[in-house]
A and B are shown apart, each in its own frame.
Chain A
């Protein structure tokens, strides 16, 4: 099921929590939803899951407007809200059964679904405990299990890996990636490496508006513009190297670093100086010991787009 969002706006009083955003998520795609606190991520997710009503604009799920038959559409959505609220007094199994029956899973299949979720989310040892007795990581797993119990076509996960230990994070990411092959997944997070590790596409929003949309590679390419290399050359005087580098056609700027023989080279936009640097080293019989391309980190992109 596709999710198509058109000109979505939600106002709280005079403040626009979500301001005229449009995007599309296809089946089999995992969309990473990024943004600083209060950017409108959670509000958008709440609208998709029908917790709050759509302000202006339209959300279509599988071709049907969410305004028309919300209760029917909700059956196809699995939702893990922010802060993972759960009924603490209930045992894990009972809770999953409650969620399954509310989501309209057939009675005969409920037990089977619960068994599958318990195994998938690694809850086997804890399944008879009350939720209040579980650690935060296990509660997070219960939250994920309840979101997936009815095998929904759409998964909306608001910060799914908070509170998990590194091993669990790897497991949950793998689980999400596996699920994402056949389902439509939107996940929000603050953890940037997580987006790169799990998501096919990244959407960055700030102050209710979309500021970037694309894969991590395309975002990088957009943000980067010029190639920056760090190189280190031995067996030569620094000044000699610097002037040789400056004479290369593709080089725009050369900066000498404090380390002996180390330089930072900025290439002219659209060109690469890697080959030229190597060839000039060969010609001069210098030893090239380091050449590191500086990648624009997702953190930098995020900061550039969201710091006002």
Chain B
């Protein structure tokens, strides 16, 4: 546990040292703030004290930003060879992966914490449904867990950060939208599988304020599968040098 924390502290530090964290924070808050308050289906147009608009914007911005954060996590270490240094320290492969996972998740949480003024402002304007808002945030965190899992996996199978980024987007796209689009075209069990696999279905229901363990399990298990796959692809070093 200690080792996980040491690794994620270093990763978080390097997000901030390399400016990635600042760029991500500014872009995330800029986009989501702009569309929540100023443009399109913004709060004043709808005339409701609800953060639904923000959540659906964040649903897209995080989809693009998470691969940008995760792309270097393992690809860079593999390219420079520091992975060898890290894995020969007194840590297990899993601790390394979890440390990197946690660092990314923390950065996302920091970004989300900066949007708390939205909540405070809105609850001053009118009657904000706090339960639904908390669920919305929970949905974003859960979605991040899934995409970080996918992103780290993409980063673990290549030495090239751009490839890792594109691959994470490509895999993510299936969960984000493609399964959702395919689902109505199929009837019976295949359609149901697509509906279940679609991330947006689960996100929608959480952000509407419906807290279902099925949705939570969906997000967490996808994240866990991601981590397991990363461990497998790290273990591949035993087969060829």
Contacts and interface: CB of A to CB of B under 8 A. Distances in A.
A166 interface: no
Interface stretch (A82-90, A174-182, A236-244, A273-281): A82-90
A83 B81 CA distance: 8
Contacts of A75: 90
A56 interface: no
A99 B240 CA distance: 27
Nearest to B241: A12
Contact of B237 (A52, A88, A101): A52
Contacts of B87: 50-51
A50 B84 CA distance: 10
Nearest to B10: A98
B17 interface: yes
Contacts of B84: 46, 51, 81, 85
Contacts of A104: 90
A101 B238 contact: no
Nearest to B79: A85
B90 A51 contact: no
B85 interface: yes
A85 B85 contact: yes
A51 B81 contact: no
B14 to A, nearest CB: 6
Nearest to B83: A85
A103 B80 contact: no
A27 B13 CA distance: 39
B18 interface: yes
A12 B241 CA distance: 8
Contacts of A70: 92
22 contacts: A12-B240, A12-B241, A17-B241, A43-B241, A46-B84, A50-B87, A51-B87, A51-B88, A52-B237, A52-B238, A53-B238, A74-B89, A74-B91, A79-B88, A85-B84, A86-B85, A87-B14, A94-B13, A98-B10, A101-B6, A102-B6, A102-B90
Interface of B: 3, 6-7, 10, 13-14, 17-18, 80-82, 84-92, 237-241
What 6 A-B pairs have minimum CB-CB distances, sorted nearest first? A85-B81, A75-B90, A74-B90, A102-B89, A85-B82, A53-B238
